[in-house]
Structure 1
Amino acid sequence: MSKVFALIPARGRSKSLWQKNIAPVLEQPLIAYSIQAAHDSEVIDAIFVSSDDDQILSVAHYYNAERFKRDPHLAKDESTIDAVVAEFIHRMKLAGKDIVILLKPTSPLRTARHIREALAEFNDFPTCQNLISVYEINNAYMRAYVGGGEFLHPLAGEHSSYYCRKDLPSLYMPNGAIYIFKVDDFMREEKIPLTHIVPYLMPASDSIEVCSVNDLQLVENRLRERINS
């Protein structure tokens, strides 16, 4: 029988914010929100934090997540998330039909409900190879031009800049909160699948990714709104 694994990738250090993944957010480390959401979803068989950093792994253990000590060469600036996932799958010997839910710790506003709904949606699409969480953005960007050379070029096609917004397709931006895929789909190329993708729509207000001190403040404000609502 297939199992569902949550993988929270959290390397040590950060260029933009030192030890970002365990930065305090309303008296809890940032990563704790992702671990707690995974636990509270009650749809995950095991929760792992992948890190090269012993301090982060100690925090993960405190919040009842399994510790997965990452190879240090996969914790560099140029390391890819695909390589991190591949290491986890190989070393844990996951089965082909097992499901991986990738939860980046920099998305603390993702809740247990979001995880439950996303997994249910993933399971509703048997031909889906990857589900990603997104939020809707202004489709007027479809009318934009790309620069960088002598001339401008339409971003979305020859006549896109002349369309009315109502005639343009909807646009969705990935927010980094949730990725869901089966092991065998990942292992075809040892990459998170880039085809047969379905979206899980989240509000923009829950889609803040923490990259800076300012983002931490925005997240704290949103969490206070939830507490007071």
Structure 2
Amino acid sequence: MTEMPLIAIVPVRGGSRGLPGKNTRDLLGKPLYRHALDQAHAAGVKLCLLSTDIPALLRADHGPGVQVVPRPGELARDDTPMDPVLAHALQVVDGPARVVLLQATSPLREPEDIAAAVALHSAGRFDLVMSVTRTPSHILKYGMVKEGAFRPVAGADYCFMNRQALPEVYRPNGAVYVFDADWFRRNGRLATDRIGAVEMPPERALDIDTAEDFAQVESVMRTRGAQ
């Protein structure tokens, strides 16, 4: 069986409330978004689709293996979900493809994280594979209150368990998502009941939203470089 082409989508919009201009801000010698492109290529991705509304990026030559997809303004707002952004970018893709979604705000991911997610998706058990990081289990005790009624986010039994007895819990960290382009076109969204998980350690799962986040990530990367 012929292996389907592997492509990456890197969404990079101009607006940001937490840290204006963060996606093009310099991080150790290159703009933040460039780290995602380079990680994709290092993981074996031949074509990266750079979905952007930033005029300077639309005009720039990003080198081989990068195709710019001009994103319309209505898909570049603060409240724009990822699903329509992906659907728009995939319009330039003909035929089947395995897609890696890499958000620019997770620059601490490693090519090995991408490769592990691609390998798991290639096994065919899951519609979507995403990177996750272990998080404190006490979230299982949480719930929502509606009209005075407490509704647990998980089973009610968890609310009364000792902390030590709670099962391990993982959160999506936003660094890597892998899915089939044709599946996404049929499904219309990333949400599915068949999600595979690839674990990433906390030190690689930091996400940039604020200036403080950016400084923390920069510090981690400087420390890495010194080792």
Alignment TM-score > 0.5, same fold? yes
Letter aligned with residue 11 of structure 1: R
2:190 matched residue in structure 1: 192
Partner of 1:34: 36
After TM superposition, list the pairs within 5 Å mapping 1:92-111 onto structure 2.
92-96=92-96, 98-111=97-110
Deviation of 1:24 (Å): 1.5
**Is the aligned partner of 1:201 residue 2:203?**
no
Q: How many residues align?
A: 225
Rounded to whole Å, the distance in 1 between the matches of 2:33 and 2:26 is 9
How far does residue 94 in structure 1 lie from its aligned partner after superposition? 3.0
Aligned position for 1:24: 26
Whether the aligned pair in 1 keeps the contact of 2:47 and 2:65 (CA below 8 Å) is no
CA contact (8 A) 2:15 2:77 kept: no
Matched residue of 1:159: which SS? helix
Q: Work out whether residues 10 and 56 of structure 1, in 8 Å CA contact, stay in contact via their aligned partners in 2.
A: no
**Superposition pairs for residues 190-229 of structure 1, below 5 Å?**
190-229=188-227
TM-score normalised by L of structure 1 = 0.90
Alpha carbons 1:186, 1:193 under 8 Å: kept: no
Structure 1 residue 29 displacement after superposition: 0.9
Q: CA deviation at 1:28?
A: 1.8
Partner of 1:180: 178
Q: After TM superposition, list the pairs within 5 Å mapping 1:1-229 onto structure 2.
A: 1=2, 2-42=4-44, 44-58=45-59, 61=62, 65-90=66-91, 92-96=92-96, 98-124=97-123, 126-147=124-145, 149-229=147-227
Alpha-carbon distance between aligned partners in 2 of 1:200 and 1:144, rounded to the nearest angstrom: 25
Q: Deviations over 1:46-93 (max 9, x none)?
A: 111100112234567158622111122211223221101111222x14
The 8 Å contact of residues 24 and 32 in structure 2, kept in 1 or not, is answered as yes
CA distance in 2, matches of 1:179, 1:3: 16
Q: What RMSD, in angstroms, separates the aligned Cα atoms of the two structures? A: 2.0
CA contact (8 A) 1:12 1:52 kept: yes
* C-alpha distance 72-144 of structure 1, shift in aligned 2 (>3 A): closer
Distance verdict in 2 for CA 1:148–1:212, change over 3 Å: farther
In the TM superposition, structure 1's runs of 4+ consecutive aligned residues that sit over 4 Å from their partners are none
* Closer, same or farther: CA 56–93 of 1 in aligned 2, 3 Å: closer
Gaps of 5+ in 2: none
Aligned-pair identity in percent equals 27
Moved more, 185-194 or 107-116: 185-194
Aligned-pair CA distance for 1:40: 1.2
Separation in 1 of the partners of 2:222 and 2:106?
16
Change (3 A) 1:59 1:32: farther
Residue 45 of structure 1: how far off its partner (Å): 2.4
Q: C-alpha separation between the residues in 1 aligned to 2:204 and 2:217?
A: 9
Hey, what's the Cα distance between the residues in 2 that align with 1:18 and 1:60?
Answer: 23
CA contact (8 A) 2:51 2:71 kept: yes
CA deviation after TM superposition for structure 1 residue 167, in Å: 3.7
Distance 2:127 2:36 in 1: 23
Is the contact between residue 12 and residue 53 of structure 1 (CA under 8 Å) also seen in structure 2? yes
TM-score between both structures, scaled by the size of structure 2: 0.90
